[in-house]
Structure 1
Amino acid sequence: MKRQPEFINYFSYGMGDFLGAGAFALTAAWLMYFLTTFCGLTAVQAGSIFAIARVADAIMAPTMGFITDNFHKTRLGRRFGRRKFFILASIPLVLVYTLIWVSGFGYWYYLLTYILFEIVYSMILIPYDTLASEMSNDYKVRSKFTGARMFVAQTSAVFAAFIPGRLVEALGKENPLSFLYSGMMFTVMIMFCLVLIYKFTWERPYDEIPVEENVKNRSFLQNVHKIYADLFSTLRVKTFRYHLGMYLGGYISQDIFNAVFTYFVVFALMKSAVLASNLLAFMFAMQIIGVWIAMTITIKMNPAPAYRTAISFFIIGILGFIALQFTGTTNSTILLFVMIGVCGLGRGGLNYIPWNNYAFIPDVDEALTGQRREGVFAGVMSLIRKGTQALAVFLVGVALQEAGFVSGKASQPDAAVTAIVSILLFGTLIFLIGGLIVSYRYKLTKENHVVLLDEIQRLKNGGSKDNVSAEASQVFEELTGWEYEKSWGNNKIGYENLVNYKKKNKEKVVI
């Protein structure tokens, strides 16, 4: 009998995004400002830390996905769980997050500590990202798991924006301890959340994990080949490609907004960092409502309409800020909070919908490959997410420095202020419009997901592909992007299928 989740399971799973969103929001909103204001780094140096860390992540993320997909073959994996073992092991390691926020060191210290944090981050988030797919196949249950995750994500993001501002007020705007204490608070909370995840979530039963052939006969180089063959093979799944387009459109726009918004408030609007903190906190609070709106539309209708609604809110909010700045009406604090609130409603949906969609992607992949590869997709998602975020922050840093931005100064040249405003407007809108266009091609719905699962189960039970219904064949082809005859492993998608394909072809030649 399938295990039915209760409130504690939804709550504990959701708490995992205290790291994925809360710590991420604190880093995105404040780390670049911290490094350029209190640590003596230039904007380019600060941005390069995010970019260089992606090189390590290009190895870590797909490797972690491969390891968690196969860790059940080890004694530790069978005892603690192939996913949850890494959740447990990361509890003491997450202390490295505090070290990022210690002032007084040089560039290499901040680069090293950030890379170490990113490694631990991958150890946690990649196994964690697979759990919603593993705990249930039901569309509504998975949507609720994602909803719980996003509610926690937005709540933790409120703290990420609000706490530094309160500490700046208490300790003074020239005191870097405000950020150190913020990092310490988040570290303790993350450790607590990891305990909840380990105790109150579960994985796919051991006997339901597909058995790979010839695993013991693979060499080290063949395993490396498998990792990257599987990684790139995910892009051959049609629904996943469109999912990535929506995901990146929503998230890169937010990365750019996060990286430049504090500068926009302080240098373009000529307001305090405390007001920037208050505005960000209110935005993240409104994102909670945005998640609820998006979840309601997604469950009652489908993801694409909900996504387009969320993008519309975010675009209106951004245009509103630019209008206030150009018309000189920035003294109206109420209008500033209205615009940031509208942004928050949109961003909540843009955070929820892609992660809700992601929970169903391994089902589409199984229809195509005949395999369960949650870890592979989690690795790809993590790599692309953090890679694009780092690139966005780095390019913002380069643009600011090229425009004459001077670290540590209370005011900036007109060219730097113009660059800040332009980045906030055009940098965000380009990606939002791109995501909007892609959403019209995303075809996974709650109705065709049921058809997909029924056909997968029929094939698992030994059903013949010759007896497929017209509806199931159409859904397979629409979601995978491949002809039905080439689905269910009858292709070269992924390392295992590639090996089997070559083996069959050799056998045919011999015959």
Structure 2
Amino acid sequence: MKKPLTNSPFMFAFGMLAMMIPSQAFSSFYSYYYVEKLGLGLGLATIARTIFLIWDAANNPLLGHLSDSTRTRWGRRKPWIYGAMPFFMLTFIMVFAVPDGLQQGGLFTWFLIALILYEGAASVLWVNYGALFPELFRGDRLRAKASAVQQAFQIVALLIATALTPVIYTALGFPQMAIIYAVAFAVFMMMCMYSVKENPEASKAEPLKLLDAFRATLKNKQFWIFNIANSFAQTVNGLLSSMIPFYAKYSLHIEEAQVSILLAAIFVSIIPLVAVWYWIVRKLGGLKGWRTAMVAYGLCVIPLWFAEGLGGGIAAGIVFGFGMAGFLVTPAVLSGQIIDRDAELTGRRREGIYNAVGGFITRSSGLLSALAFWIVGMMFGYVSGDDPGSSPDTTFRVLISVVPFILLTVAFLVSLFVNNNEEDAKGTYSI
């Protein structure tokens, strides 16, 4: 007998809420915590992130292939998610529960180990949760609806993770904040998984061997172009989120307690703007809507350069929120179409490896973000909170406005190579 709310877009979106609260708190505040609060050198922080990405490049696609090849009576994806949940909780807490008295070398070692373990557990979750989306929701209309619900939950998570986090860590400390978010993750993810029933038909075909699976994925030119363009835009999301605390302190000159007000104003405004972008995409179509979102996003980061004080920051942030909302809504349907066409060609549902490889491409944006932080910091003399240099105002205006504009320009130019024709006989996919 089918359970109530089985494979409901609403219940499935609790998984997004579960993972995005700790993930966004991590991406927004780990640099601020280690560099500004603990005094880790910016160069060491960049090295740690680079080492992780080399490791992630190898394990992420492999995780996707293992997920696609899994055959159990509980499904392909759910066993991986249940297994990764406790490790994700423990490693997230580890990132923010740093022992007292660590010097630069010890702090770097702790940060690197915590980063690798945390991102490993997170990769298992994101690969398998992402792989469920195109399997459970078939057809553009249902995917668009499910994506819209997901993005609404994602924005709630962004609001909680960015606006509430400074309140919690100011009152309780970073380790206690991590424990609270780890428990919230477990509750929301269990709600999501309770509602998910995987399609047994999706796993009937014999899985491709590892090399054959990678070969088929590498041949899909449109998949690579789509994800490379997205990676530049995703860099902007991560860069802006992680730079806002610095930007608020050094450029807007507002108190740390007011950062929550700034973040709340930005992310509350995104909630209705997601509905606006959903309407725009329905009118323009997926591909044109995706490109339009990138153009709008690029224009919307410009006011951040000119903002002054809390009021100016809020006004510029709301404009920025319009652009961010567009990028949150548009990619899911296009990604689902790529996976559907691969299934038509190979006779196998391979959501895992596509989400894993696509996830690695977009997560590699973290390296771009870290490099941008390091290069701009070097240009203007910012080293850490203990040594901010002579021009921290300019440093963070460049990082939050100029660099994102350049990245989004590149993303739009790359997106022009994604075509809208039917796939050709050699398996080059279109969107």
Same fold (TM over 0.5): yes
1:243 and 2:226 equivalent? yes
- Alignment partner, residue 202 of structure 1: 197
Partner of 2:82: 88
TM-score normalised by the chain length of structure 2:
0.88
Matches within 5 A, 1:167-316: 167=168, 171=171, 177-206=172-201, 209-212=204-207, 223=210, 226=211, 230-231=213-214, 233-316=216-299
**Pair 20,364 (structure 1): closer, same or farther in 2 beyond 3 Å:** farther
Tell me if structure 1 keeps the 8 A contact 2:291–2:412: yes
The alignment partner of 1:202 has SS state of coil
In 2, Cα distance between equivalents of 1:4 and 1:306: 36
Looking at both structures, which has the greater relative contact order when contacts are Cα pairs under 8 Å and sequence separation is at least 6? 2
**CA separation in 1, counterparts of 2:129 and 2:281?**
22
What do the CA deviations read for 1:292-329 (whole angstroms, capped 9, x no partner)? 222233334412333344334433432112123xxxxx
1:155 positional shift: 0.6
Q: Is the 8 A contact 2:78 2:128 kept in 1?
A: yes
Tell me, what secondary structure is at the counterpart of 1:391?
helix
Question: Residues of 2 paired with 1:26 and 1:164: CA distance?
Answer: 7
In the TM superposition, what is the alpha-carbon distance from 1:21 to its structure 2 partner?
2.9
The Cα offsets for residues 186-223 of structure 1, whole Å up to 9 and x where unpaired, read as: 2111111221232111223247632247x6xxxxxxx4
Once residues 20 and 389 of structure 1 are traced to their aligned partners in structure 2, the CA distance between those partners, rounded to angstroms, is: 17
CA distance, structure 2, for counterparts of residue 247 and residue 5 of structure 1? 36
Q: In the TM superposition, what is the alpha-carbon distance from 1:17 to its structure 2 partner?
A: 1.6
Kept after mapping to 1: 8 A contact 2:81/2:129: yes
**Contact 1:297/1:303 (CA < 8 Å) preserved in 2?**
no
Conserved? CA contact 1:247–1:435, under 8 Å: yes
User: Is 1:337 the counterpart of 2:314 in the alignment?
Assistant: yes
Distance 1:47 1:285, change over 3 A: farther
Task: Tell me by how many angstroms 1:367 deviates.
Answer: 3.5
Distance in 1, Cα, partners of 2:4 & 2:335: 20
Pairwise mapping of residues 118-157 of structure 1 onto structure 2 (< 5 A)? 118-157=119-158
CA contact (8 A) 1:13 1:148 kept: no
How far apart, CA to CA, are the structure 1 residues paired with 2:231 and 2:120?
22
Give the match's secondary structure for 2:300: helix
- Name 2:396's counterpart in structure 1: 420
Report how many aligned residue pairs link the two structures. 421
Residues of 2 paired with 1:337 and 1:132: CA distance?
34
Letter matched to residue 377 of structure 2:
L
Consecutive unaligned residues of structure 1, counting only runs of 5 or more, are 172-176, 216-222, 325-329, 445-477, 494-511
1:87 to partner: Cα distance: 1.1
* CA shift in 2, pair 1:310/1:286, >3 Å: farther
User: In structure 2, do the counterparts of structure 1 residues 439 and 402 end up closer, same or farther at CA, with 3 Å as the change threshold?
Assistant: closer
| Structure 2 residues not aligned, in runs of 5+ | none
Q: Is the 8 A contact 1:245 1:434 kept in 2?
A: no
CA separation in 2, counterparts of 1:41 and 1:243?
Answer: 35
Residue 154 of structure 1: how far off its partner (Å): 1.0
| Offset of residue 157 of structure 1 | 0.7
- Per-residue CA deviations over 1:83-117 (Å, capped at 9, x if unaligned) read 11111112222222111111334221121112111
Q: Give, in whole Å, the separation in 2 of the partners of 1:381 and 1:278.
A: 34
CA distance in 1, matches of 2:204, 2:280: 33
Provide the TM-score with structure 1 as the length reference. 0.75
Matched, 1:436 2:412: yes
RMSD between aligned residues = 2.7
Task: Call closer, same or farther: CA 1:41–1:88 in 2, change over 3 Å.
Answer: same
